Chain A
Amino acid sequence: MIVRTGLTGPFPRSEALVGATRDLDRGRATAEFVEELYARTEGEVAAIERRLGLDVVTGGYLRWPDLFRPFAETWEGFTVGPLSRWFETNTFYRQPILHAPPGRVPGAIAAHLPPAARAEPARGGVILPGPYTFAGLLENRSGETDEALVHRLGRLLAEEVRELVGLGFGTVQFTEPLLVDRPPSGALAEAVVAAYRSVRTSAGTATVLVWTYGGDAIPVFPLLDRLPVSAVGVDLAETDWESIPPSDERRGIGLGVIDPRTTLVEDPVEVARIVRALHDRRRPTAIYLGPGGPLDLLPWEPATRKLHLLPAARQALLGEGGGRS
Chain B
Amino acid sequence: MTTTLFPAQEIGSLMKPRWQIVGQHGEPLDETAREEFRAENARTHFADDLPAAAEALLAGRSREVGAEGVRDLGSLFAIRLFETAGLARVYDGEARRIEMYEYPIRQMRGFQFQGHVRSFDNKYYLKAAVTDEVRLEHPYHVEEFDFVRRHARAEPKLPVTGPYTLADWSYNEYYLARQPGWKGRAARRAGQRDFVIDIARRAIRPTLAALIDRGCRVIQIDEPAAGTHPDEADLVVEGFNAATEGLDAEFSMHICYSDYRALLPQLLEAKRCRQWAWEFANRDRDGRDGYEVLRALREYGDTRSIGLGVADVHRDEVETPERVADRIRRAVGYLGDPTRIWVNPDCGLRTRRLEIARRKLEAVVAGAAIARAEIEPPRR
**8 A Cβ contacts from A1-26 to B:** 12-13, 15, 18, 21-22, 24-25
Residues of B within 8 A of A136 (CB): none
Convert A256-277 into 0s and 1s, putting 1 for each residue whose CB lies closer than 8 angstroms to a CB of B. Answer: 0001011110100010001000
How near does chain B come to A77, taking the closest CB pair, in angstroms? 15
**Distance of A298 Cα from B228 Cα, bound (Å):** 16
Closest Cβ neighbor of A237 among chain B residues:
B184
* Known pairs A22-B124, A262-B172, A299-B114; A90 contacts B228 (CB<8 A): yes
How near does chain B come to A285, taking the closest CB pair, in angstroms? 25
Convert B230-261 into 0s and 1s, putting 1 for each residue whose CB lies closer than 8 angstroms to a CB of A. Answer: 10000000000000000000000000011000
Residues of A within 8 A of B172 (CB): 262, 264
Instruction: Determine if A241 is an interface residue (Cβ-Cβ < 8 Å).
Output: yes
Residue in B171, B229, B314 whose CB lies within 8 Å of A88: B229
Contact at B183–A300, with CB atoms within 8 Å? no
Contact at A82–B124, with CB atoms within 8 Å? no
Instruction: Determine if B120 is an interface residue (Cβ-Cβ < 8 Å).
Output: yes
**Distance of A90 Cα from B114 Cα, bound (Å):** 16
Instruction: Determine if A70 is an interface residue (Cβ-Cβ < 8 Å).
Output: no
**Distance of A18 Cα from B171 Cα, bound (Å):** 19
Contact at B127–A299, with CB atoms within 8 Å? yes
Instruction: Determine if B380 is an interface residue (Cβ-Cβ < 8 Å).
Output: no
* Known pairs A18-B124, A238-B184, A270-B182; A263 contacts B227 (CB<8 A): no
**Distance of A261 Cα from B283 Cα, bound (Å):** 27
**8 A Cβ contacts from B174-208 to A:** 176-177, 182-185, 188
Closest Cβ neighbor of B257 among chain A residues:
A85
**Distance of A88 Cα from B176 Cα, bound (Å):** 18
Instruction: Determine if B225 is an interface residue (Cβ-Cβ < 8 Å).
Output: yes
Instruction: Determine if A178 is an interface residue (Cβ-Cβ < 8 Å).
Output: no
Instruction: Determine if A201 is an interface residue (Cβ-Cβ < 8 Å).
Output: no
**8 A Cβ contacts from A280-325 to B:** 296-302
Residue in B118, B168, B176 whose CB lies within 8 Å of A91: B118
Residues of B within 8 A of A259 (CB): 183
Instruction: Determine if B155 is an interface residue (Cβ-Cβ < 8 Å).
Output: no
**Distance of A21 Cα from B179 Cα, bound (Å):** 38
Residues of B within 8 A of A24 (CB): 122
Instruction: Determine if A216 is an interface residue (Cβ-Cβ < 8 Å).
Output: yes
Residue in B114, B122, B314 whose CB lies within 8 Å of A301: B114
Contact at A18–B184, with CB atoms within 8 Å? no
Closest Cβ neighbor of A82 among chain B residues:
B282
Residues of A within 8 A of B282 (CB): 82-83
Instruction: Determine if A33 is an interface residue (Cβ-Cβ < 8 Å).
Output: no
**Distance of A238 Cα from B183 Cα, bound (Å):** 9
**Distance of A91 Cα from B224 Cα, bound (Å):** 12
Contact at A92–B129, with CB atoms within 8 Å? no
Closest Cβ neighbor of A265 among chain B residues:
B173
* Known pairs A83-B257, A85-B257, A90-B228; A25 contacts B285 (CB<8 A): no
Contact at A262–B185, with CB atoms within 8 Å? no
Contact at A91–B188, with CB atoms within 8 Å? no
Closest Cβ neighbor of B315 among chain A residues:
A82
Instruction: Determine if A194 is an interface residue (Cβ-Cβ < 8 Å).
Output: no
**Distance of A94 Cα from B127 Cα, bound (Å):** 23
Instruction: Determine if B31 is an interface residue (Cβ-Cβ < 8 Å).
Output: no
Closest Cβ neighbor of B124 among chain A residues:
A18
Instruction: Determine if A236 is an interface residue (Cβ-Cβ < 8 Å).
Output: yes
How near does chain A come to B200, taking the closest CB pair, in angstroms? 19
Residues of B within 8 A of A66 (CB): 120
**Distance of A262 Cα from B168 Cα, bound (Å):** 10
Contact at A83–B314, with CB atoms within 8 Å? yes
**8 A Cβ contacts from A200-241 to B:** 216, 236-241
Residue in B176, B182, B230 whose CB lies within 8 Å of A274: B182
* Residues of A in contact with B, size category: 35 or more
Residues of B within 8 A of A15 (CB): 115-116
How near does chain A come to B29, taking the closest CB pair, in angstroms? 17
How near does chain B come to A7, taking the closest CB pair, in angstroms? 16
Contact at A89–B116, with CB atoms within 8 Å? no
**Distance of A15 Cα from B258 Cα, bound (Å):** 28
Instruction: Determine if A75 is an interface residue (Cβ-Cβ < 8 Å).
Output: no
**8 A Cβ contacts from B109-148 to A:** 114-122, 124, 127, 129
Instruction: Determine if A65 is an interface residue (Cβ-Cβ < 8 Å).
Output: yes
Residue in A97, A216, A297 whose CB lies within 8 Å of B185: A216
**Distance of A301 Cα from B119 Cα, bound (Å):** 17
**Distance of A302 Cα from B115 Cα, bound (Å):** 8
Contact at A264–B258, with CB atoms within 8 Å? no
Closest Cβ neighbor of A88 among chain B residues:
B229
**Distance of A262 Cα from B129 Cα, bound (Å):** 8
Contact at A262–B183, with CB atoms within 8 Å? yes
Contact at A261–B171, with CB atoms within 8 Å? yes
Contact at A88–B228, with CB atoms within 8 Å? yes
* Known pairs A263-B173, A298-B114; A90 contacts B183 (CB<8 A): no
Contact at B185–A237, with CB atoms within 8 Å? yes
Residue in A90, A237, A264 whose CB lies within 8 Å of B225: A90
**Distance of A66 Cα from B294 Cα, bound (Å):** 30
Convert B309-343 into 0s and 1s, putting 1 for each residue whose CB lies closer than 8 angstroms to a CB of A. Answer: 00000100000000000000000000000000000
Instruction: Determine if B374 is an interface residue (Cβ-Cβ < 8 Å).
Output: no
* Known pairs A82-B285, A237-B183; A263 contacts B171 (CB<8 A): yes
**Distance of A91 Cα from B177 Cα, bound (Å):** 25
Instruction: Determine if A81 is an interface residue (Cβ-Cβ < 8 Å).
Output: yes
* Known pairs A90-B169, A264-B173; A298 contacts B185 (CB<8 A): no
Residue in B115, B182, B258 whose CB lies within 8 Å of A299: B115
Residues of A within 8 A of B355 (CB): none
The 14 listed contacts between A and B (C-beta, < 8 Å) are A18-B118, A21-B122, A85-B227, A90-B117, A90-B169, A90-B225, A91-B120, A239-B184, A262-B172, A262-B188, A296-B117, A298-B114, A300-B115, A302-B129
- 6 pairs of A and B residues whose beta carbons are closest in the complex: A299-B115, A92-B120, A21-B122, A263-B171, A263-B129, A18-B116
Known interface pairs A83-B314, A263-B114, A298-B114; 14 further A-B residue pairs with C-beta atoms within 8 A, sorted by A's residue number: A15-B116, A82-B286, A82-B314, A85-B257, A90-B119, A238-B185, A240-B184, A240-B185, A262-B172, A263-B171, A264-B172, A266-B183, A296-B117, A299-B114
